Amino acid sequence: MSAAALLFRRELALSWGGGGGPLVAVGFLATLTTLIPLAAGADPTRLAPLAAAVAWVALALASLLSLERLFERDHEDGALDLLALGPLPLEAVCALKALAHWVGTGLPLALAAPVAALALGLAPSLAPLALVAGLLGGLGFSFIGALGAALALGARRGGLLIAAVVLPLFIPPVIFGGGALARAADGQSPLQALALLAAYALFAAAVSPLAAAAAVRNAQS
């Protein structure tokens, strides 16, 4: 088994082991979705137009949840030193960690988001699109989030800080994903928006490992 696969499997096992981070994130998404009708009223004519948008924002917020531990636990127990002495450069380690976060947490969230949107009154024909947008957007969220998690290493109130640092960077994917769903709901083609969303995810996947590795080295020194 290659070193990359070895690290990827470890990260997946860590995200599911001990506390089940993805379950917490999905639970958070479900709770947030429950709060919306309770706050806005159960009238379907008011909820349905917001269904996709609310589910999409809930997905973005939920993917923040498990980020705090992404680098922090390896920093606390010294495993980061071990990872830095392995066969892969730190940039690749950061990329694999973000990718594992996407598979471990982003995937369950992308599956849960359409369900949440349906519960709020989304037209069932839009559910597949919500899933695709969730997958693509989740990739961007995981990579940008990994950068935030690396930057917050060694900070007080790390979790809160990650949100403050990362949420402004979440704006383009939130716009493109929300735009895809809104256009589809209007009967227009969501392809342009999806393409922009995919482009942003790729941009994040290219840039974030470099910046995250610099942040990790800084925290290690």
Partner 1 sequence: MLSVTGLSLSRGERVLFRDLSLALDAGQAVALTGANGAGKTSLLRAIAGFLRPDAGTIAVDGQPPAEARDRLHFLGHQDGLKGQRLTGNELDFQARWLGADAAGTAHAIQTLGLDPLLDLETRKLSAGQRRRLALARLIAAPRPLWLMDEPFAPLDAGWREALGRLMAEHLVGGGAILAAVHDPLPIPAAALDLGGLS
Partner 2 sequence: MFGLANPDRFMRVTRPLVPLAWGAAAILLAVGVWLSFSAPEDYQQGSTVRIMFIHVPAATLGLGAYLALGVSSFFALVFRHALADAAARAAALPGAMFTSLALITGALWGQPMWGTWWVWDARLTSVLVLFLFYLGYMALRASIDDEQKAARAAAVLGLVGLVNLPIVKFSVDWWNTLHQPASLIRSGGTSVDPAFLPALLTMMAAYGALFLAVWVTAIRTEVTRRRVLTLRQRRAAMA
Binding positions for partner 2, rule: CB under 8 A: 147, 151-158, 161, 164-169, 171-172, 175-176, 178-179, 182-183, 196, 200, 203, 207, 211, 214-215, 218-219, 221
Q: Map residues 1-30 to x or -, x wherever contact with partner 1 holds by CB under 8 A.
A: x-x--xx--x--xx--xx------------
The whole-angstrom separation of Cα 121 and Cα 104 is 27
Residue 84 binds which entry of partner 1, partner 2, none, with Cβ cut-offs from 5 to 8 Å by kind? partner 1
Complex with partner 2: residue 65 or 184, whichever CB lies closer: 184
Query: Residue 56 contacts by C-beta under 8 Å, 6 or more apart in sequence?
Result: 113, 117, 130, 133, 134, 137, 174, 177, 178, 181
Triad 167, 173, 176: Cα angle to 5° = 140
Site for partner 1 in 85-144 (CB under 8 A): 85-87
Instruction: For the CB of residue 45, give the shortest distance to partner 2 in the complex, in Å.
Output: 19
Helix (H) or strand (E) holding 15: helix 3-16
Residue 4 binds which entry of partner 2, partner 1, none, with Cβ cut-offs from 5 to 8 Å by kind? none
The whole-angstrom separation of Cα 114 and Cα 41 is 20
Complex with partner 1: residue 39 or 85, whichever CB lies closer: 85
Instruction: For the CB of residue 19, give the shortest distance to partner 1 in the complex, in Å.
Output: 8
The whole-angstrom separation of Cα 137 and Cα 132 is 8
